[in-house]
Structure 1
């Protein structure tokens, strides 16, 4: 099968990582895996798995550009004998749908987020993600959301949870030298004897960095021994938000306790540095990829109690779930985590790894996605 995936960029993120994983599976099955995108830092990884980049301005929401992209995609479908166009974001999905209608290619979508819309126009725009012949939901939470927001698509939803690369996110394959190198790059002494909390997420308000700093400020005021908290992720141009976080660090006197470190290309090594991971998003995560990766690395997770995190984090077994947007509740979970013995945290991490390995593997995602492609190709639509 020849598959064309469309996605705005190939930067760090769950949708981008899944694009590469599916490309790898297509090539391994003897097909061709094309990706229409503006590109980004994951281009080399796409090429390494045998994928082919088609560089187009897929991130643009300009109606004229979206229309031009549809024309370009239609030409690619005809020239490369594409069987299925798989859309992973809204603006590219409009281009992909028009191209599929013109060429007879099958059209599949993956619903990667909640895409909430308060106006009728926004809901209409979002609905393109539910108009695939088959609509992949990356969690039970997203499947329920699609059925509520787009009842017409209910019988076309196929649930394929996000996967974790269990070969890559395996503490047994992370050499101590690799962890030490990352720590040195970040200017950290390792091992330091101090508890480390890793917050892996791009710097944007809905991920919960503000609430985390407020929670740490509460604990600091109580006289607690704080974990060294590492904020790892791109600001992606949000200079104002970055400045706000730096101000909050100063206001709460957290300069010795919090580091803002930017993008990391070796997340397995980053998790190997950590004793606990933080995923306290204010808005619900569609799945909760970083929480799953942390679990695979035997790291207990403190996550917000909504969205896909409810499927990834089992309270009291693999981590903690706290009320979203509540710094007091988050402080309570951090307090409990730091009061545990290392043996207790290790046992919780072991349970986390068992849960992730049985429920959320990349291989399972790849196999299930290929089955969806086969189902689409066998249909008469």
Structure 2
């Protein structure tokens, strides 16, 4: 009997983030289809989740951009592909993608990429380095914004591009599954009284994610509590705290760090903010908030233009403009609770219809089937 097809996903590591969670979700779908799900990375906490969903994790030193290391990793991936009779190598990040492309050419495996970011081109040679993500026999774009970027920047033929938006798991992000006591406890942990308005920005602490924009906006929102949920740059965290002190709102700013129960945190907020100042390839936290029926105010650029319908499933504001963000937040927070809830309900229905994990998994399996013998 022939072995079931093996699909190998390659990425730098499995620590945290949307790329990493998507890798686990696709490993689950591959295993569920009766195929063999392999994931190669330098490891991390999510490696155990790959195993739990029926996949196999192989530890390789793929968390590097060094050309010699990329070349050596190509040999390692090729050896793994031969040993496991890998049919498809699916690359999710640039360094591992170069290794995976070389390995695919050496072994005859088919090559798929997912183009996860807008990838800046600020230094010489960067476009060439980025171009590997457009060299798949099938190139998965995670938004229309990214599909258009791939075509314009790299000249990738449209027939090789497959638009597969990121998905949210409605089993994990379901308002009905969260006990009210957990929501109350979360708000109390943030120092918010029942009548206080809480504005939540989920995302790692890095300047382009717009946390400073929200801090500046809070100065124009008397009484509102701002919560920044995410770990990351300690120096930037200190800069946020220092600016809050200068503006006299340090008592109204909470740096919550990494939040494990994001569904609870989202439900504990009155409004969720996406304030990125650079274009997001997709913006997964937006659909997670919408899945929890939360009103969302998002930057009007990149992926959120596709997931936030103005005035229907949320609102969009000019990026990097604290005054515009504050004005929109003030208007949303002043709405009757029933009107905000109606926006949240419409947002959840839109996510369930268009942006579920199951839809993402099914569409990705369909791409694999195009290439399997």
TM-score normalised to the size of structure 1?
0.93
Contact kept, 8 Å, 1:146 with 1:154, in 2: the verdict is no
Specify the SS of the correspondent of 1:83. Answer: strand
Task: Name which of structure 1's ranges 187-196 and 270-279 shifts more when overlaid on structure 2.
Answer: 187-196
Instruction: Map 1:244-323 to 2 at 5 A.
Output: 244-323=239-318
Matched, 1:156 2:153: no
In structure 2, relative to structure 1, the CA distance for the partners of 1:175 and 1:191 (3 Å cut) is farther
C-alpha distance in 1, partners of 2:159/2:139? 9
Give the aligned partner of residue 195 of structure 1. Answer: 197
2-side partners of 1:175 and 1:249: how far apart?
Answer: 32
CA spacing shift, 1:109–1:271, aligned 2, 3 Å: same
Is 1:324 the counterpart of 2:313 in the alignment? no
Cross-structure match for 1:231: 228
Q: CA deviation at 1:239?
A: 2.2
In structure 2, the gaps of 5 or more residues are none
1:367 aligns with 2:362: yes
Note closer, same or farther for the CA distance 1:114–1:348 as it changes in structure 2 (3 Å cut). same
Q: CA 1:48/1:177 → structure 2, altered by over 3 Å: closer, same or farther?
A: farther
| Mapped partners of 1:180, 1:328: distance in 2 | 30
Q: Kindly indicate whether the alpha-carbon contact (under 8 Å) linking 1:4 and 1:85 is maintained by their aligned counterparts in 2.
A: yes
Whole-Å separation in 1 of the counterparts to 2:125 and 2:226: 41
Post-superposition Cα deviations, 1:20-60, rounded to whole Å, max 9, x if no partner, equal 11010000001111111122222232222112111122121
| 1:52 is aligned to 2:56 | yes
d(CA) in 2 for partners of 1:158, 1:32: 23
> How much has 1:181 moved relative to structure 2?
5.3
Name the counterpart of 2:351.
356
After TM superposition, the score normalised by the length of structure 2 is: 0.95
Shift of 1:334: 1.0
Residues 3 and 84 of structure 1 are in contact (CA less than 8 Å); yes or no, is this contact kept in structure 2? yes
SS at 1:352 equivalent: helix
Give the equivalent residue in structure 2 for 1:110. Answer: 114
Counterparts of 1:180 and 1:9 in 2: how far apart (Å)?
35
Q: Whole-Å Cα distance in 1 between the matches of residues 371 and 226 of structure 2?
A: 46
Matched, 1:334 2:325: no
* Residue correspondence of structure 1 range 203-214 to structure 2 within 5 A: 203-214=205-216
Aligned to 2:38, the other structure's residue is in SS state strand
Equivalences for 1:35-114 in 2 at 5 Å? Answer: 35-114=39-118
Indicate the RMSD between aligned Cα atoms, in angstroms: 1.5
The alignment of Structure 1 onto Structure 2 pairs a total of residues equal to: 369
Is the contact made by 2:198 and 2:270 (CA closer than 8 Å) also made in structure 1? Answer: yes
Aligned to 2:178: 174
Deviations 1:110-132, CA, capped at 9 Å, x for gaps? 00001121345110010000000
User: What is the distance in 2 between the residues matched to 1:310 and 1:341?
Assistant: 25
Distance 1:66 1:180 in 2: 49
- Measured against aligned partners, the alpha-carbon deviations of 1:296-344 in whole angstroms (never above 9, x if no partner) come to 1000111000100001111111111000111111111111111111111
Correspondent of 1:347 among 342, 350, 359:
342
Listed as ranges, the gaps of 5+ residues in structure 1 are none
Q: Is the 8 A contact 2:190 2:254 kept in 1?
A: no
Matched, 1:125 2:129: yes
Deviating above 3 A after TM superposition, structure 1's stretches of 4 or more consecutive aligned residues are 177-184, 188-191
Give a deviation string over 1:265-284, Cα, whole Å, max 9, x none.
Answer: 21111112111101010001
Alpha-carbon distance in 2 for matches of 1:118, 1:239:
25
The DSSP-based 3-state class of the residue aligned with 1:350 is helix
